[in-house]
Structure 1
């Protein structure tokens, strides 16, 4: 009996040891998983006004994020998440700034500044104002094909494959198709993820138009001034061919996930990386670069309030994207890589702005040459990427026009701009190219315009 107890005790000790090793090995993953779940839950509930159950069953239901358990405090506007009860992460909501994933050192009671917003009714019809559009019928549009094409990208009842939430199609500034899945409508705010990169690219276009900087300028990063990195330009950053070390893999613990779910100041993640290539020699997608650009933007102003106001005052609110909200990190920087929310109709306004080369109903937001710049392929990107926009110059979508360019985000968020067809197509969902045949969708939509 004693021998049996000793063996049982030894077995128990071995199991505990194995469990401890597994926990220690996976603890960083639990930190990121809980952080993702808490942040996404808080944003969904307090920015997008969606419920806890809805978010659990739609936004946070994929592996391994589904392992997290969330609790929401509506009074304090907080969300907490744990994974197996081992790691607790907390996100808080702040009006005007959105949701913020915090760590134990963050003081929630510290007063904060918020962006000043100007939201004046224009008395114009959409997209240039808040009024409904007048019915317009184009004789060169095959409306039956348009509707069938839009329907084809949504799941049939009982399916859960394409996970499309919304599609909006504009031709010559007029809505020719609009559809939403259950629980989402034209007033729903949706997360653009990396479409935020294209928003911040546009801010740089405005800065250049106003003479505050040019993309040819050397990046003003003091940490780079004593080594080869001092040659990196803003253009290299926007085209993502600065040559700096970076890892972007959302299926693992990498530079990008640590930045988004651990770092207090996300603008610094890319700064401390070494140069492994010369500028213009190697293209690599980096969310760290986008947040570095947010930090450079902040350095251009004398006060923090000016930094907060600038994107809204000079661009976003000027084109009536009043639903848009860009979230900040713990250091107060806009998360230019990932965190912007707006309605589908407001995201479409962004596409219309580029369709008209920066001219918004007579107001030139950025120089028309800026469109030429952002649609010029970045060296070594094989025609797929420009100035923080994705391109089709390299025929990534072989049956779509080569002049198409787009703002792209995680899980298949898209604003497609097709100048040759006067089309803007917006799609939101919960899965990207692995679940959706965008090529066929675009082919059929384009062919519906004669």
Structure 2
């Protein structure tokens, strides 16, 4: 009995030491768990059990115990009772991780949505899909290719696949618990949505990508030479650490900052623009905040993504969540169902043309797909590329919106294809080259 008590005491001491040593990291663990739970429950309408067993069931995050208050639409998480964090859902704005300064009585501005319904089928409406049969598509082979993405579910962890050919759905499949109406977090696919807003503003004549960034503090030093183009290409030369395993620039931004648009602003330049390619979610959120310089006021800012892009192409399931300062988290927090993510890809397949309207210049597609120097052909302007042949059996003209844990919207112009895949595993665990080459092989 004495030996047992000693063992328990040693375990408790070791646990206390481990928690004390990693205490700052608990902000990440409990913060991630609370935020992800609140959004998954109140945006995607999934059960807390499903979120705990799947999304939050990853190393360290699974240590957090999370409770959901459906009445107040909140989720709270803590690790062994330490570092409790709370996320609050706000209608029209999504969920936000809050701190002690959050005013529950404050009613923030919300976007004005224009969800005009029509009787058109996909993609120009939400009234089902066409029954077109293409003679050059081997549907049996295509079905096999799509189904392969769902095999070994504990490894590949695919949630949805949609294949659109010449603007029409030719294959679509979902994992249990997911369907055409289930919003899915795009993570960094949001960056590509954000970039598109700049393409729209440029087409409207409100800016040019070569314009210098309008930040007063930067005019006093070398940062004055940073242009919007440098930010879109992740070539600003600004210091930034994108490390999710510890307390870093990116984790402090997501789990400790009230205004994520300011996280990159104070960073010093460690190189001249175009000298360094450095992927930065802080840069994307900086771009999100800078949008306000080209719009009339805060309400216009909140309306702009929806009125100029999202609702205009019928992506009515999409919501871009905001931070505590009510700025869009343009790096990571857009949710939409799989069909709406496919519409975004189709917009690019059609070079900005949508059902009789031109949303951005055809030249914009050339711009975002031009490889950024230093990226070895894998990155353009807030879009990922296959120009360097990272997927050897897939056409080099492929470009895509990519997100954490394997969220993808692939656009392959030479094949008239848009392919959406969502899940909880990314390349190479989920073999993108194999997945896409099998789909392409089904189209003669």
Alignment correspondent of 1:325: 319
Write out aligned runs for 1:298-317 (5 A). Answer: 298-317=292-311
From 44, 52, 74, the counterpart of 2:70: 74
Q: Deviations over 1:88-127 (max 9, x none)?
A: 0000000000001001121111111100000111221110
Shift in Å, 1:281: 1.1
Shift in Å, 1:153: 1.0
Change (3 A) 1:20 1:160: closer
3-state SS of the aligned residue for 2:217? helix
Shift in Å, 1:262: 1.0
TM-score normalised by L of structure 1 = 0.95
3-state SS of the aligned residue for 1:110? coil
Change (3 A) 1:225 1:21: farther
Q: Deviations over 1:29-68 (max 9, x none)?
A: 1111000000000000000000010110111111110000
Shift in Å, 1:20: 5.4
Shift in Å, 1:301: 2.3
3-state SS of the aligned residue for 2:50? helix
Q: Distance in 1 between matches of 2:96 and 2:310?
A: 21
Alignment correspondent of 1:3: none
Shift in Å, 1:257: 1.3
Shift in Å, 1:15: 8.8
Q: Distance in 2 between matches of 1:423 and 1:67?
A: 41
Shift in Å, 1:141: 0.8
3-state SS of the aligned residue for 2:269? coil
Q: Deviations over 1:228-271 (max 9, x none)?
A: 01100000000001111111122222211111111111011111
Write out aligned runs for 1:179-190 (5 A). Answer: 179-190=173-184
3-state SS of the aligned residue for 1:165? strand
3-state SS of the aligned residue for 1:169? strand
Larger mean CA deviation between 297-306 and 422-431 belongs to 297-306
From 173, 186, 192, the counterpart of 1:192: 186
Shift in Å, 1:443: 1.1
Residue 44 of structure 2 is aligned to residue 43 of structure 1: no
Q: Distance in 2 between matches of 1:218 and 1:192?
A: 29
Alignment correspondent of 1:232: 226
RMSD over aligned CA atoms reads: 1.7
Residue 256 of structure 2 is aligned to residue 256 of structure 1: no
From 421, 440, 449, the counterpart of 2:443: 449
Q: Distance in 2 between matches of 1:19 and 1:321?
A: 47
Shift in Å, 1:19: 5.7
Q: Distance in 2 between matches of 1:302 and 1:422?
A: 38
Q: Distance in 2 between matches of 1:54 and 1:24?
A: 30
Shift in Å, 1:415: 0.1
Write out aligned runs for 1:154-193 (5 A). Answer: 154-156=150-152, 159-193=153-187
- Could you tell me whether the CA contact under 8 Å between 2:122 and 2:130 is conserved in 1? no
Shift in Å, 1:18: 6.5
Change (3 A) 1:136 1:16: closer
From 328, 334, 337, the counterpart of 1:343: 337
Alignment correspondent of 2:133: 137
Residue 219 of structure 2 is aligned to residue 242 of structure 1: no
From 148, 151, 156, the counterpart of 1:152: 148
Alignment correspondent of 1:26: 22
Q: Distance in 2 between matches of 1:134 and 1:337?
A: 34
3-state SS of the aligned residue for 2:141? helix
3-state SS of the aligned residue for 1:318? coil
3-state SS of the aligned residue for 2:312? helix
The alignment covers a number of residue pairs equal to: 440
Alignment correspondent of 2:392: 398
Q: Distance in 2 between matches of 1:264 and 1:99?
A: 13
Alignment correspondent of 2:286: 292
Alignment correspondent of 2:417: 423
Q: Distance in 1 between matches of 2:121 and 2:132?
A: 13
Shift in Å, 1:130: 1.8
Q: Distance in 2 between matches of 1:59 and 1:17?
A: 30
Q: Distance in 1 between matches of 2:437 and 2:420?
A: 15
From 79, 82, 86, the counterpart of 1:90: 86
Structure 2's unaligned 5+ residue stretches are none
Alignment correspondent of 1:215: 209
- Could you tell me whether the CA contact under 8 Å between 2:387 and 2:397 is conserved in 1? yes
Residue 365 of structure 2 is aligned to residue 371 of structure 1: yes
